[in-house]
Structure 1
């Protein structure tokens, strides 16, 4: 995985609450066995009409959000089933950071395991970002080391993250990567057996 220390990116607002994993990646697209290729189906039922044409009123289809890497959404993001495909689709589409007032626990853990920083912000902070993101080219800087989100206009806030997921994201480790940090001790143990 790629280490995430400081990320500056275009913001895409998705002002909806209770976005569940079936809305993030609908069940009919879960047939792939690899982690890649899911981004094209992200929010499929909202991004496309019944004929497969892009819905012009959905934010991810707006030209001003093309290339966005920070997704801002309402509370209870990632609720529903615990499918790991949801963060795979978000990451494959190009998002590295999500900001929301609250998350489903399993979804938030799956984000960390896949290199996505899921920041919990207040409802007021989220609504401020959503309003500012209406302006074309609105971007944020996310500093994981300092646990700070800021923009060029003076808006900023700090966020909490526990040490273990922070270390994983800062170093670009998944759980196998964490295990490999103990490789010398594992070899010593095996030699002693």
Structure 2
């Protein structure tokens, strides 16, 4: 229900959506202030071959370039927001829309996010540079999102097409994937849980 309401507000009542976004970000940042400070250390723990860190305002031009360089097929299942520099800057500055980068030296090779809400839920998304697929980066992003959501004490959800085999596989490698329901468009509405220790 919350998912549908959010999409109606965003698509039909832009001014209300902006107000809701602002209030959500403010309250989320205040209620999770101490946990948010731990995120850089969590990302550092996940960084080995590649460096993971929070996106900053100065990253918006390079991130827009990253998206512009991806082939059209990369966006078949990944359309969470606009990819122009202005839109990305707004997202990066939103304290409840946590945006992360995967870097190979100084080059952005992956992007992932947790869109957080004051009700204790978050929605996740991830994409890997087409030149770096098959190197375990999607799995690394999944591990990092799981650690961050656990640190924040929030639940993690997402939508995924049953035809997106690669994303399903990388998700199942890191998380217990629980299909909550199938949406009208055929996508699965999923909760991602930490894997149970064997």
- Normalised TM-score (structure 2): 0.28
Q: RCO (CA 8 Å, sep 6+): is it higher in 1 or 2? A: 1
Higher gyration radius (CA): 1
**Relative to total residues, which structure has the larger helix share, 1 or 2?**
2
Tell me which protein shows more strand as a share of its residues. 2
TM-score with structure 1 setting the length: 0.29
